[in-house]
Structure 1
Amino acid sequence: MKNNYQILSNILLFATLTSVSFAQRPAEKLSAVFQQKNKTVLVAAHRGDWRNAPENSMQALSNSIEKGFDLMELDVKMSRDSVMVVMHDNTIDRTTNGKGKVGDYTLEELKKFRLKNGLGRLTEHQIPTMREMMLAAKGKILINVDKGNDHLDMVFKVLRETSTIDQAIVNVGDNIPYGELTAKNTVPKEAYLMVVVNAKNKDMQAVISSYASNKKTVIQPIFDTDTLVNLKSLKETKNKPLIWLNSLWPSLNGGHDDDRAVEKNEKEESWGWLIAYRPIFLQTDRPSELMIYLKKRGLHL
């Protein structure tokens, strides 16, 4: 009996230690990325596991955690009573059984609506707040906060109040130089940032260079053709910025997209082509399939 009790105690201790280690992992993982110690490609699930749960839902987050995705990308909007909620569109028409702009409703009113799944069918899932999402993600998965450019002060406020600023990357805008960003917003020193740059923009390199002094910034280049001169500079090793790429749809990656990888089985021409740019994150609508591909190439644990 004593031996059985000892075995049970050891099992519980191991489970506790494993849980503690896992709880520390997201912040440590992100810190390693920005110290350029990470040698793998991290998988970013666009709007969560939306093929198997409503996009930007608590279930999408839960699925992303359970399936071992490195990061969930989510989008935020402001309710009428100044609460940050998780929603991609300016309106709730497409993703819920309601109509109208997010900002036309209070949080209490928004909670009465129900989310639709990827097939457009109604579910029992509610619109989550950013606070709810961050607390559920705390210590379990990295988060990319998108679409909060107009309310960055509130985004950072939620991250600080939930003690999750060390496991989140915040999109701060498109083609915005660092000086212009900081002139408009108070950016916490501890925050990890992302700036989107259009590779067609002749000032792309100037925008990227403006973030050189901030060692917690990742660059997200977007491009609808793969022959742009600016793309060549992203492969240079000298002063190379940390890169986040998207395999979502062709206009973001010059045709090297998820559907090409999965439906046409042209993984090397899509994901392989993007990986040649050595991104630290690859954002995808096919996270499970991408993870399998990366593991086979020894690029994911």
Structure 2
Amino acid sequence: MVKTQLFLSAITALLALNNPARLLAQSLHRLPITTVQELHDYFNWKPGKPPIISGHRGGMYEGFAENSLSSFEHTLEHTPAFFETDPRLTKDSVVVLLHDATLDRMTTGTGKLSDYTWEEVKKLRLKDAQGRVTQDRIPTLDEAIDWARGKTVLNLDHKEVPLSMTASIIRKHKADAFVMLTVHSPQQAQYYYRENKDRMFSAFIKNKDEWEAYEKAGIPASSLIAYIGPAIKPDNKQLYQLLNSKGIMCMISAASSYDKLADEQERFSAYRAIIEDGASILESDRPIDVAQALKPLRTNQSPSTSAPTKN
């Protein structure tokens, strides 16, 4: 009996290793989003709505590599979240998830990702934030989209992948209900929006002028969440008031700021302060910690019309 169990465990590990899309999920906190309208409703700002958590690159915990399906899944075992992730191109134009243009920091490889074919890249293994080699390999964007369906929302940052290629992959998977796009300019948003008006965007909007540029470009408020920066600052108050009045949720990313605090209680206090200041989405390398820190705030606020489920 013991030998049989060990054999089954080994088979399960091999399946996950060779095909990340077949990771055997534990009980997960799933976002209740199956249609484009539900996606837009989920990210529509309303008074008293509980804050939403974004896992920056999936989350960065010991034993889990950033931008890996294992990291996404690990986060969802603890809290509902959506995920910012980073598509890049291999030498033979396969779109994979990797933040850096080089392989050295996060994989067992060296040099530029763009110098390697997908057949070469998939032999590499990812490292966690402490530099330890994991069993995970770099996933393709196709695999990530297949995995995310029915579980969460992927927010695709823009690196060097052509906009047309990203749009084509979303279209191929019919994934507009659970894939959104980080845009760094109104022009990028315009390209995607003209192709498909169902698209949802995470836009860099750090002041009134930048919002007005998106408005002038014809991007509706209902298609946007706004990334307003990495820190609490006095100017945020006016921006919250302006964007919230349009139904736009405002996101602060703690990845380059408050996540770096060494003391856990200081981090937790900073996470709560972000929401108390007026942000409605908190992005973090530590999404599980954020969920713990925000638990008192989330339970005291009105439930969302589409509450996450766990199964």
TM surpasses 0.5: yes
Counterpart contact for 2:227–2:251, Cα < 8 Å: yes
Tell me, yes or no, if structure 1 residue 221 matches structure 2 residue 221: no
The 1:81–1:126 alpha-carbon spacing in structure 2 relative to 1, beyond 3 Å, is same
Q: Which position in structure 1 is the counterpart of 2:197? A: 189
Q: Which position in structure 2 is the counterpart of 1:18? A: none
Describe how 1:3-22 pairs up with structure 2 within 5 A: none
Q: Which position in structure 2 is the counterpart of 1:204? A: 210
State the 1:128 CA deviation: 0.6
Relative contact order (alpha carbons < 8 A, sep ≥ 6): 1 or 2 greater?
2
Percent identity, aligned pairs only, is: 25
Tell me, yes or no, if structure 1 residue 135 matches structure 2 residue 146: yes
TM-score normalised by L of structure 1: 0.77
Q: Deviations over 1:80-104 (max 9, x none)?
A: 1111100001111111111122221
Describe how 1:59-70 pairs up with structure 2 within 5 A: 59-70=70-81
The 1:89–1:102 alpha-carbon spacing in structure 2 relative to 1, beyond 3 Å, is same
Tell me, yes or no, if structure 1 residue 271 matches structure 2 residue 271: yes
Counterpart contact for 1:96–1:113, Cα < 8 Å: yes
Tell me, yes or no, if structure 1 residue 234 matches structure 2 residue 240: yes
Tell me, yes or no, if structure 1 residue 163 matches structure 2 residue 164: no
Question: What is the identity, as a one-letter code, of the residue corresponding to 1:283?
Answer: E
Counterpart CA distance in 1 for 2:231 and 2:164 is 32
Counterpart CA distance in 2 for 1:242 and 1:145 is 18
> Unaligned stretches of 5+ in structure 2?
1-28
Q: Deviations over 1:143-185 (max 9, x none)?
A: 1111346422222222222232211221122xx235x642698
Counterpart CA distance in 1 for 2:158 and 2:120 is 21
State the 1:61 CA deviation: 2.0
Counterpart CA distance in 1 for 2:31 and 2:55 is 20
The 1:219–1:225 alpha-carbon spacing in structure 2 relative to 1, beyond 3 Å, is closer
Counterpart contact for 2:85–2:154, Cα < 8 Å: yes
The 1:281–1:63 alpha-carbon spacing in structure 2 relative to 1, beyond 3 Å, is same
Q: Which position in structure 1 is the counterpart of 2:186? A: 177
Question: What is the identity, as a one-letter code, of the residue corresponding to 2:203?
Answer: V
Question: What is the identity, as a one-letter code, of the residue corresponding to 1:242?
Answer: M
Tell me, yes or no, if structure 1 residue 39 matches structure 2 residue 52: no
State the 1:235 CA deviation: 3.0
Moved more, 204-213 or 102-111: 204-213
Counterpart CA distance in 1 for 2:111 and 2:271 is 37
Q: Which position in structure 2 is the counterpart of 1:151? A: 162
Counterpart contact for 1:48–1:72, Cα < 8 Å: yes
> Unaligned stretches of 5+ in structure 1?
1-21, 251-256
Describe how 1:44-55 pairs up with structure 2 within 5 A: 44-52=54-62, 53-55=64-66
Q: Deviations over 1:117-147 (max 9, x none)?
A: 1210122211110000110111111211113
The 1:151–1:213 alpha-carbon spacing in structure 2 relative to 1, beyond 3 Å, is closer
Counterpart CA distance in 1 for 2:267 and 2:30 is 36
State the 1:69 CA deviation: 2.8
Moved more, 112-121 or 291-300: 291-300
Counterpart contact for 2:125–2:138, Cα < 8 Å: yes
Counterpart CA distance in 2 for 1:129 and 1:232 is 40
TM-score normalised by L of structure 2: 0.74
